Structure 1
Amino acid sequence: MDQLVPPPRSARAPHGSGVRDEVAEVASALEHRVADISVHVAGVISNDVEFYQATAPAPFSVVASICEAHVRAVLSAIAADEEFDPSVAERVGVDRAREGVPLAVVMEVYRVGFHQMWEAVLHEVDAQEIAGRTFNGGAALRILTSHVFVAQDIFTSAMAAGYRDEQARRLSRDESERSALIDALLHGRVLERWSLWEVADHLRLPTGGPYVVVATDMTVAGAEPLPGIQSKLRSLDVFSAWRTLPDVQVGIVHLKSEKHFDDVLALLNRVAAARVGVSAQFDELRDTAQALRYARVMLRGQSEPGELVSRFDGSILATAAVSAPEVLAKVVAPTLDSFAEMSEDERDVLFDTFRVWLENDGSLRVAGELLFCHPNTVRYRLHRIEQCTGRSLSRPRDVAEMCLALEVHRRLK
Structure 2
Amino acid sequence: MRRGLPAVAEAAVTAIIADVPSYAGALSGQMGENIRGAVQLALGGFINLAVASTQVDPRQPTGPAREGAYLLGRGEARSGRSMEALLAAYRVGSRESWRQLARFLVDQGVDAATIAAFAELVFAYMDQLSDASVSGHSDEMASSGRVRQQHLDELARALLDGVAEEALVAAATRAQWEPPRTLTAVLMPDSQAGGVMRVAAQQTLRIEDPTGEEGRVVLLVPDAPRALLLRTLQGPRAAVGPARPWTEARLSWERARRALALDLPEDPSAAAPLDTEAHLAALVVHSDPEALADLRARVLTPLDDLTASARAKLSETLRAWLLHRGRREAVAEALFVHPQTVRYRVGQLREAYGELLDDPDFVRDATIALA
TM-score by length of 2: 0.76
Corresponding residue for residue 100 of structure 1: 80
1:9-67 deviation digits (Å, cap 9, x = unpaired): xxxxxxxxxxxxxxxxxxxx2x21222221221122112111223xx445344224323
- Per the alignment, in what secondary structure is the counterpart of residue 167 of structure 1? helix
Corresponding residue for residue 297 of structure 1: 258
State the Cα RMSD in Å: 4.1
Corresponding residue for residue 231 of structure 1: 198
Corresponding residue for residue 334 of structure 1: 297
Corresponding residue for residue 91 of structure 1: 71
- Per the alignment, in what secondary structure is the counterpart of residue 252 of structure 1? strand
How is 1:5-404 mapped onto 2 (pairs within 5 angstroms)?
29=1, 31-53=2-24, 56-57=25-26, 59-81=28-50, 82=56, 83-85=60-62, 86-128=66-108, 133=109, 135-136=110-111, 138-190=112-164, 192=166, 194-195=168-169, 199=172, 202=175, 204=177, 206-209=179-182, 211-216=183-188, 224-234=191-201, 240-245=204-209, 246-247=212-213, 248-255=216-223, 260-268=225-233, 270=234, 272=235, 274-282=236-244, 284-301=245-262, 302-304=264-266, 306=268, 307=271, 309-313=273-277, 317=281, 320-321=284-285, 325=288, 328-329=291-292, 331-332=294-295, 334=297, 353=320, 357=323, 376=339, 383=346, 394-404=358-368
Structure-2 separation of matches of 1:225 and 1:381: 53
* Residue identity opposite 1:216 in structure 2: M
- Per the alignment, in what secondary structure is the counterpart of residue 195 of structure 1? helix
Structure-2 separation of matches of 1:240 and 1:404: 38
Structure-2 separation of matches of 1:378 and 1:173: 71
Corresponding residue for residue 411 of structure 1: none
* Residue identity opposite 2:38 in structure 1: A
Corresponding residue for residue 17 of structure 1: none
Structure 1 position 261, deviation (Å):
0.8
* Residue identity opposite 1:41 in structure 2: A
Report if the CA contact (8 A) 1:278-1:311 is conserved: yes
* Residue identity opposite 2:40 in structure 1: V
- Against the structure 1 CA distance between its residues 32 and 328, is the aligned structure 2 distance closer, same or farther, given a 3 Å change threshold? farther
- Against the structure 1 CA distance between its residues 140 and 286, is the aligned structure 2 distance closer, same or farther, given a 3 Å change threshold? same
Report if the CA contact (8 A) 1:45-1:112 is conserved: yes
1:88-135 deviation digits (Å, cap 9, x = unpaired): 11001111112221121111111111111111122212332xxxx3x2
Structure 1 position 320, deviation (Å):
4.3
Report if the CA contact (8 A) 1:212-1:252 is conserved: yes
Structure-1 separation of matches of 2:294 and 2:153: 38
Structure-2 separation of matches of 1:195 and 1:120: 54
Aligned length: 346
Structure 2 gap ranges (5+): 51-55
The percent identity for this pair of structures is 16
Structure-1 separation of matches of 2:221 and 2:341: 42
1:194-234 deviation digits (Å, cap 9, x = unpaired): 517x628947465212x32111256xxxxx24442211334
Structure-2 separation of matches of 1:405 and 1:395: 15
Report if the CA contact (8 A) 1:279-1:294 is conserved: yes
Q: Structure with the greater relative contact order (CA < 8 A, sep ≥ 6): 1 or 2?
A: 1
* Residue identity opposite 1:90 in structure 2: Y
Report if the CA contact (8 A) 2:197-2:204 is conserved: yes
- Per the alignment, in what secondary structure is the counterpart of residue 185 of structure 2? strand
Structure-1 separation of matches of 2:252 and 2:347: 37
Report if the CA contact (8 A) 2:256-2:276 is conserved: yes
Report if the CA contact (8 A) 1:186-1:289 is conserved: yes
Structure 1 position 80, deviation (Å):
3.6
Corresponding residue for residue 53 of structure 2: none
Structure 1 gap ranges (5+): 1-28, 219-223, 408-413
* Residue identity opposite 1:250 in structure 2: V
Structure 1 position 74, deviation (Å):
2.7
User: 142-151 or 58-67: which moved more?
Assistant: 58-67
